[in-house]
Homo-oligomer: A and B are copies of this chain.
Amino acid sequence: MCTLYTKILKHKIRGDQLKLYGLNGQILRVDLSSGKISVEKPETNFYRRYFGGWGFIAYYLLKELKPGVDPLGSDNKLIFATGVITGSPVPGSGRSSVGAKSPLTGGFGAAETGGFWGVELKHAGFDAVIIEGKAEKPVYLWIHDGEAEIKSASHLWGKDTGESQAMIRKELGDDGIRVAQIGLAGENLVRYACVINDLRDAAGRTGMGAVMGSKKLKAIAVRGHNRVKTVDSEKLKELAKSVTDVFKHWRFPKLGTGGDMYDAYPEAGNLPTSNFRDGNFPHAKDISAQTIEKTIRARMEGCWGCPMQCKKVLKPINKPWTIDPQYGGPEYETLAAFGSNCGVSDLIAICKADELCKRYSLDTISTGCTIAFAMECFEKGLLTEEDTSGIKLNFGNSEAIVKMVEMIAKRQGIGDLLAEGSMRAAKKIGKGAQQFAIHVKGQEVPMHDPRAKRTLGLGYAVSPTGADHMHNFHDTGELDSIDWNDAKGLGILERPPLEEFGSDKVRILIYVTDLKILDNCLQMCHFLPYVFHQKTEIVNATTGWNCTDFELMKVGERVFNMARVFNLREGFTEKDDRLPDRFFRPQASGPISKGINPQQLETLKHVYYEMRGWDRQTGIPTRGKLAELDIAWVANELPM
């Protein structure tokens, strides 16, 4: 056993750094079981067909995973992927994805993150890293300027992300090293553990940190000095200026996320409250970005190359909890998940829960939601103080949320149950607990109430990653996920009435989804106000390709279909495309007095399938559709 371990430590590989414009043309493959590291150089058309991020993840999962593998077993693969424009000198290009079969959903797993790590990987000579197998003992991967080696992480195992990052930087002697890693939650295989970059940027959803933990991979440390070569830097400068001119007077970069909970969300009934039971949280303003700005915020920061600076950094806080500012500050999803959805208005407690999630590598949405689930169970007597080690797990108990995060990450007491996620925990608790588990396909619902945004609800239902707000259409009045002037460029000529929930909205959902999946492939931040064609221009000015907007929309559609087929291969059926029953009833309190009509949702789901060129009944993509999307090979992966 020890032999293999030594071998792993010694294996080191150097890539050629075969540079294309915008890309390295190199993908690193690391087998942690054997310690083998290799470099693959795909054809240019591989890049142009799949574009990166979700595209690479979907490709490798479909091509290389056997159906039915254990997400936490050695047969799962974990893919870190940048995209075609990662590191291109324009705002919003600092992103990357992490993907694998999800231990939370059992289906397609992928999460995106901003920050610096992805660009550093590009600078280090690789476009993506595929992690296979499982190390015998904890290891980390060290990638630097075209070289890669596996190193022991025994001394890092069990450490907070902050400690671990400091130790890695120290032992490698470079403070500029970027570290993607897991904390205790990942090590302990919490099913919604995330991957944390630079302590503050989370690839949050679908449990990618648990997959990393299952492989005993503590971290991937990256350092590189080769800037991305682009074809037309003047054009890129012009695009950067143009988009900056648009957002520089916006409220958003001044506040970051969470400004809407001060004003728009409570009124719209979009602020999940008490485990999505209510839509009316009286303390919304107390936990808003505006209050943070006025009280505990030190400054704003941004991702690589982005002047938008939409990420909060807190002042040092010492009581009632010590909060380390190096872990950044809470986003809207976190504020709502630990705040309104747990009935908590104590901003410091929420910030502490956020800090702990980054320290331990936990997805704040699923963590907050699972705690809210437990709170409702507690309220209903399905869980008692006996179960909770004496903690009064009531809505509004701010100390409890902080304690729960600790216990989940460490799988202590009831934390061990909740670490399985709300769906599995509910099954174990029984006694009707399932009605309080607010998830789709096992993934907890983000902080947008589908009763307020019904089209988004349909988007939750059909998403391959379970409830996901990022590749979705936010269809309330003031809170649109689409610029209605830009929408015309998608052929959405009329804005359907707010109250409409019909095929016009389904069409918009599909187009917006494909556009956002495209973002997740080429790796563009959803927050930057580029018009669609400017993204195409960024791709072309970066790579020298002659892409059209049509080609790019087809990339989004292609990859979305691939993720769908992955799930079908894993046994998902149209029955899994559903919402929790709670959303079919009105909010107990709050402005939304009507639940979604389940028959209407079901009908529109089948309209959605047909609009996508899928079988109207089963939601299975037709072979023709897959061939039209230039992925005829994917049809072989369809269930018989």
User: Which residues of A does B touch, CB under 8 Å?
Assistant: 45, 48-49, 485-486, 488-494, 503-504, 506-507, 510, 531-533, 536, 545-555, 607-613, 616, 622-625, 627-628, 630, 632
The reply to whether A611 and B630 contact each other, CB–CB distance below 8 Å, is no
**Nearest B-chain residue to A506, judged by Cβ:** B627
* CB atoms of B549 and A493 under 8 A apart: no
| Nearest-neighbor residue (CB-CB) of A486 within chain B | B546
- Closest B residue to A547 by CB, please name it: B489
Residue of B nearest to A551 (CB): B491
Residues of chain B lying within 8 A (CB to CB) of residue A494: 45
Query: What is the distance, in angstroms, from A577's C-beta to the closest C-beta of chain B?
Result: 15
Task: List the B side residues contacting A630 at CB < 8 Å.
Answer: 491-493, 507
Residue pair B48, A551 in contact (C-beta under 8 Å): no
Q: Assess A550 versus B553: contact at CB under 8 Å? Given A622-B616, A624-B611, A625-B611.
A: yes
| 14 A-B interface contacts by CB (under 8 A) | A45-B494, A48-B493, A485-B546, A492-B630, A503-B632, A504-B632, A506-B627, A507-B628, A531-B546, A532-B548, A533-B549, A549-B549, A607-B624, A613-B613
Contacting residues, chain B, for A506 (C-beta < 8 A): 627
- Interface contact A488-B546, CB-CB below 8 Å: yes
Complex Cα gap A491–B608 (Å): 24
Bound complex: CA of A554 vs CA of B607, how far in Å? 19
B507 touching A627, Cβ below 8 Å: yes
Given known pairs A493-B49, A611-B624, the reply for A532 and B550 (CB within 8 Å) is yes
Q: How many angstroms from the CA of A555 to the CA of B550 in the assembled complex?
A: 12
Chain B residues with Cβ under 8 A from A553's Cβ?
550
Within 8 Å by CB of A624, from B536, B550, B609, lies: B609
Q: Which of B486, B492, B608, B610 contacts A625 (CB 8 A)?
A: B610
Closest B residue, CB atoms, query A503: B627
Inter-chain CA distance A45–B623, complex, in Å, is 34
CA distance A531 to B550 in the complex (A): 13
In the bound complex, residues from chain B placing their C-beta under 8 Å from that of A533 are 546, 548-549
Are the C-beta atoms of B546 and A510 separated by less than 8 Å?
no
In the bound complex, do residue B548 and residue A549 qualify as a contact, i.e. CB atoms below 8 Å apart? yes
- Closest residue of chain B to A545 (Cβ to Cβ) is B488
CA gap between A608 and B545 in the complex, in Å: 28
Is B610 in contact with A493, judged by CB distance below 8 angstroms?
Answer: no
Given the complex of chains A and B, what is the CA–CA distance between A45 and B494 in angstroms? Answer: 8
Contacting residues, chain B, for A628 (C-beta < 8 A): 507, 510, 611-612
CB distance from A197 to the nearest CB of B (A): 32
Residues of B within 8 A of A623 (CB): 607, 610
| Minimum Cβ distance to chain B for residue A625 (Å) | 7
Q: Name the contact of A627 in the complex, choosing from B488, B546, B607, B613 (C-beta under 8 A).
A: B607
Chain B residues with CB under 8 A of A486: 546
In the assembled complex, how far is the CB of residue A51 from the closest CB belonging to chain B, in whole angstroms?
Answer: 11
CB neighbours (8 Å) of A551 from chain B are 488-491, 549
